[in-house]
Structure 1
Amino acid sequence: MAYQHPQQPFQGYGYCNSYFVEAHDDDDGMFARAAAERERSRGVAKLRQKALAEDLSRTTADEYQEDILDHMERMEAETMPDLPSIEVQTEIQWYMRPYLLDFLLEAHYAFQLLPETLHLAVNLLDRYCSRRVVYKRHYQLVGCAALLISAKYGDRKERVPTIRELKSMCCSLYDDDMFTQMEWHVLQTLNWIVGHPTVTSFLDLALTEVAFDTELQHMSLYITELALYHKDFIPVRPSVMARSALALAKCILARPQSRYTDWSARYDSQVVLNLSNYLNQPSQALQRKYAAPHVSSVSSTIELFLQQQAMLAQRVVLAPAPEPIAMEMEPSVPINHYLTPQTPQKGGYPNILNGVLTPPITPDKDFCNQMAYGVNQGMLPRHCVPTPPSSAEHAHAMHYTGPHYIQQPQFVQPQFVQ
C-alpha cells in the first residue's frame, strides 16, 4: 500500500486530520463497555489471588505456629537483662530511669515509630547496663543509641531518626561522633544480637485468640509501656508480660477472660497484681500519649476505673465489721501494705572491679541547667533529660513517687534543626 500524506483524503473515506478516530454514535459505547469489563475482570482476579495468598499464609502460619513460638521463647530467654548487675551500678540510680523513659517515650512518639521499637530500645538499654559500667552523664547517650539501633532494626527507613535530630533533642550535649561511637559500642557489647522478641510480638499472638478489639489492644499496650518505668518488671519475660497485661486489660474493660486451654490464659497472677498496683502511678508523658482518641483514650478509662474501685473500697470500709472471734491471732501485715508507694533504694556498693567504662568522653556543657523538666505541654520532644546528680545531700529528696518527683533536674529548651 502506497504512503499517502495525512492531509490527503484516503480513497473511499472522508478527510481526517487526526490519527485517532472517534466511535460513531451507532456504536453505543461498545469499546468503553469492553474496556470496563476487562478492568473489572482484572480486579476480581487480583482479589481472588489476594484471598488465596492470605489463606495459604494463614495455613502455613498455623502449621509453624508452635515452632515460631518455641523459637521466640528461646530467644527471649537469651536476651533478657540481668537485674542484679544493674543494681551494682555506682552512678546511675533507679530514680533516673523515669526521666530517661520519658525522653525515649516522647522521642519515639515524635518520630512515629512502631510500638516494638520502644520496647526493643529499652531492652538494649538494660542489657547494656547489665554488662557495662555507665556514667550518669552517658545514660542519655546510651538511651539514644539504643533507640537508634532499634529503629534501624525493625522500623521503616524513612522514620529512623538521624544523629542530627538526636543531637538537637539532647541540647547538643554530645558530639556527632559520640553517637556513632556509642552505637557501635552497644552492638559490640551485645555481640550484635539485637533480635529480642518484644512484648508486642507476644501480645499480637495473644490477641489472635480473641475477637478484634481496638480498645483492648490499646489498653494492653498502655500497661506494657507503664511496666517499663519500674524495675520490678525488668526480670519478667515478654511472653509473661504480654499475657498478664492482656488479662489485666480485660479486667479493666470488663471483657471475658480467655479459656484455660488458650495460650493467652497462662498468665502470672503475681505480675497482674503488681501491674494493678502501679496503675495509679503513671508518667505524665505516658498519660498524655494515651489520652488521645486514636488510642481509645485508655488513660482516661483507667482513671475512671480507679475512681470506681476507690468508691467500692470506701463502701467496704464503711460497712459494719463482724464481731471479732475470741482467739489469739498472729499479727499480720496490713491488707493495703502492698499499695504503699515504695521508693526503690540501693545501698552503697564498693567500686566495681570487673567492668569496662563507656568509651565516649562527654564535653562539659553547663548550659543544660536552666529550666525545669516537664515544661513542654505537647508530645513533641522539646526537652532533654539530663541524668540528675546522685550526691548524698540530694539523694534523700529525689525519689520517684509516680508521675511527679520531689526534686527535678534542670535543663534547657532545645532548638530543633529545621
Structure 2
Amino acid sequence: MAFHQQPSQPRYGHCDTFFVESDQDGIYAARAEVRERARAIARMQQRAMAEDLSRATADEYQDDIMDHMEYMESITLPDVNSIDIQTEIQWFMRPYLLDFLVEAHAAFQLLPETLFLAVNLLDRYCSRRVVYKRHYQLVGCAALLIAAKYGDKKDRVPTVRELKSMCCSLYDDEMFTQMEWHVLQTLNWVIGHPTVDAFLQLALSDVEYDAEVENMTLYIAEIALFHKEFVSVKPSVLARSALALARCILSRDQASSSEWAGAYDPKTVMNLSNHLYQPSQVLSRKYGSVHLSSVSATVDEFLMRQAQIARRAAAPPTPPASMTLEEPKPALNAYLAPQTPQKPPYGSVMQHGCLTPPITPDGEQYPNVLQAKPQQPPTHVYPSTPNPGQVHNVQHPHQYYHATYLHPQHI
C-alpha cells in the first residue's frame, strides 16, 4: 500500500499572545546595529590604548632591548674559520643552496626575518658539525623549517611533506625530523638570533615609512648572504651599512651621525657596493616584482650611470693636432670584483615562478671560483653528490623542482 505523506504543518500553531512582539518597523534591528557599532568603536579605542601603552613601554625599555639584541648577535655569530675546514662542502656550493632557500622562502610567502634566521642557523650548524655534501640541502631545509616555526605565521609554516616534495623525495620524512632535532641539539636550542630585518625596523622606526628604501635595504642584505666575507659581520652593522647604501642609491637623505642608524661602517658599505654587480638571478627576479618596488632594476640603472661617469672621468684629454694620435686604451672598470657564481641555464619546467634548482656541482668543475668572471659550467648535467653510482633520475611533473634521487645515509 502506497504511503502518502501529509504536507508539513507547523508544529505549533499561530501564537497570538502579548509576549511576542513583531518588528514591523525595524526598531529592534536598528537598535542591534547601534549596539554593534558601539562595540566596534570600543574595540578600536582599546586597540589604540594598547598601542600607546606598548609604545610607551618600548620607549622606556628601548635601551635594555638594544643591549640584549647586541649581546645575542655577538654570541650567535657563525665562525668562518670552522666552516673553512669542512672536508666536503665548499664555499662555491653556498650560492646554489641559498638560491634554493630563497625560492622556497618566496614560495611559502614567509617573513623576511625567517630567511635571515634560517641562513644563520645553517652557518652556525656548519660551524660545529661536519656536514656531508649529500646532506647540505637537508640541513638548509631543516634550518628553514626551524626558523619558520620560531617567528613566522603558523598557517605558512611548511610541512615535512611540502619540503620533501620540493626536494623531489631526495630525503625521507624521518630524515627531516632527525635533522631538525640534530640542529636544535647542536645549537643548544638557542634560536633567538637578532636578524638584519629586526635591526632595520629599529633604524626605520623614527622616520617616515618609505617602502622603496626598506625593500632596497633588504635586497642588498640578501645579496650579502651569498658571500663569505659577510658571514661573520654583525647584523646590526650590516643593517646600518645596507641602509646607508640604499639611501645613496635612491638619493635619499642620510641619517645624522649622532643617530644609531647613522653609525654605519664605511668599509662594509664599500664591500656591499662591490657585490652589487651580477647578483644571484633568483634575487634579481624576486626583487624585480612591483610589490617589492622593482629595486633590482633600480640598482641596474644606478650601476649603468656610475659606469658612464667612470668612463667619462677616465677618458684622456684630446691631444693637439700636431701630436701623433695613438689609439686610446680601454679604461679599466674600477668596479670589477669577485662575482657570485651563476646557475647554468637549465631547460626546466617553470611552476609558481620558481626555477629548477641545479644539482650541487663537484669542485672539479670550478677550479677557481674567485675570478672576476666565473667560468661557465659545462653543458652536461652535473653529477650528483657524492657517489655517482647511486644516482637514479626521477621526474616529478607536479612538484616545484626536478632533482636527482639519492638515498643518503643518516648522520
TM-score under structure 1 length normalisation: 0.79
1:194 to 191, 196, 203: 191
Matching of residue 396 in structure 1 with residue 367 in structure 2: yes
Evaluate the alpha carbon distance shift between residue 397 and residue 263 of structure 1 in structure 2; reply closer, same or farther with a 3 A threshold. closer
Evaluate the alpha carbon distance shift between residue 400 and residue 208 of structure 1 in structure 2; reply closer, same or farther with a 3 A threshold. farther
User: What's the offset of the Cα at 1:180?
Assistant: 1.4
Give the conservation status (yes or no) of the 8 Å contact 1:203–1:242. yes
Query: Percent identity among equivalent residues?
Result: 59
User: What's the offset of the Cα at 1:46?
Assistant: 2.3
Give the aligned partner of residue 325 of structure 1: none
Give the aligned partner of residue 22 of structure 2: 21
Give the aligned partner of residue 292 of structure 2: 295
Give the conservation status (yes or no) of the 8 Å contact 1:121–1:143. yes
Matching of residue 62 in structure 1 with residue 59 in structure 2: yes
User: What's the offset of the Cα at 1:215?
Assistant: 0.7
**Which amino acid is 1:314 matched to?**
R
User: What's the offset of the Cα at 1:401?
Assistant: 6.2
Query: Can you list the C-alpha shifts for 1:325-358, whole angstroms capped at 9, x where unaligned?
Result: xxxxxxxxx99667333689xxxxxxxxxxxxxx
User: What's the offset of the Cα at 1:382?
Assistant: 5.3
Matching of residue 241 in structure 1 with residue 238 in structure 2: yes
User: What's the offset of the Cα at 1:386?
Assistant: 3.2
Give the conservation status (yes or no) of the 8 Å contact 2:339–2:374. no
Evaluate the alpha carbon distance shift between residue 382 and residue 282 of structure 1 in structure 2; reply closer, same or farther with a 3 A threshold. closer
Give the conservation status (yes or no) of the 8 Å contact 1:165–1:416. no
User: What's the offset of the Cα at 1:262?
Assistant: 1.2
Give the aligned partner of residue 387 of structure 2: none
Evaluate the alpha carbon distance shift between residue 220 and residue 410 of structure 1 in structure 2; reply closer, same or farther with a 3 A threshold. farther
Evaluate the alpha carbon distance shift between residue 270 and residue 378 of structure 1 in structure 2; reply closer, same or farther with a 3 A threshold. farther
2:359 to 386, 396, 409: 386
Give the conservation status (yes or no) of the 8 Å contact 2:168–2:399. no
2:377 to 406, 413, 416: 406
Evaluate the alpha carbon distance shift between residue 404 and residue 113 of structure 1 in structure 2; reply closer, same or farther with a 3 A threshold. farther
SS at match of 2:178: helix
1:9-408 equivalence runs, <5 A: 19-23=20-24, 33-318=30-315, 320=317, 339-341=336-338, 373=346, 375-377=348-350, 380-381=353-354, 383-391=356-364, 394-396=365-367, 405-407=376-378
Query: Can you list the C-alpha shifts for 1:88-118, whole angstroms capped at 9, x where unaligned?
Result: 1121111111100000000111111111111
Structure 1 residue runs of 5 or longer lacking an equivalent are 323-333, 345-370
SS at match of 1:287: helix
User: What's the offset of the Cα at 1:320?
Assistant: 3.0
Give the conservation status (yes or no) of the 8 Å contact 1:165–1:417. no
**Which amino acid is 1:22 matched to?**
D
Give the aligned partner of residue 349 of structure 1: none
Structure 1 distance, partners of 2:382, 2:188, is 34
Evaluate the alpha carbon distance shift between residue 144 and residue 238 of structure 1 in structure 2; reply closer, same or farther with a 3 A threshold. same
User: What's the offset of the Cα at 1:32?
Assistant: 5.3
Give the conservation status (yes or no) of the 8 Å contact 1:119–1:199. yes
Query: Can you list the C-alpha shifts for 1:31-69, whole angstroms capped at 9, x where unaligned?
Result: 555444433333332222222111111110000111001
Give the conservation status (yes or no) of the 8 Å contact 2:95–2:340. no
User: What's the offset of the Cα at 1:211?
Assistant: 1.1
Give the conservation status (yes or no) of the 8 Å contact 2:118–2:143. yes
**Which amino acid is 1:149 matched to?**
I
Evaluate the alpha carbon distance shift between residue 311 and residue 343 of structure 1 in structure 2; reply closer, same or farther with a 3 A threshold. closer
Structure 2 distance, partners of 1:45, 1:279, is 50
User: What's the offset of the Cα at 1:147?
Assistant: 0.9
TM-score under structure 2 length normalisation: 0.80
Report the RMSD for the aligned CA atoms in angstroms.
3.0
Evaluate the alpha carbon distance shift between residue 384 and residue 179 of structure 1 in structure 2; reply closer, same or farther with a 3 A threshold. farther
* Greater Cα shift, 397-406 or 30-39: 397-406
Give the conservation status (yes or no) of the 8 Å contact 2:366–2:375. no
Structure 2 distance, partners of 1:71, 1:288, is 36
**Which amino acid is 1:258 matched to?**
A
Structure 2 distance, partners of 1:44, 1:175, is 52
Q: How many residues align?
A: 365
* Greater Cα shift, 121-130 or 405-414: 405-414
Structure 2 distance, partners of 1:68, 1:374, is 49
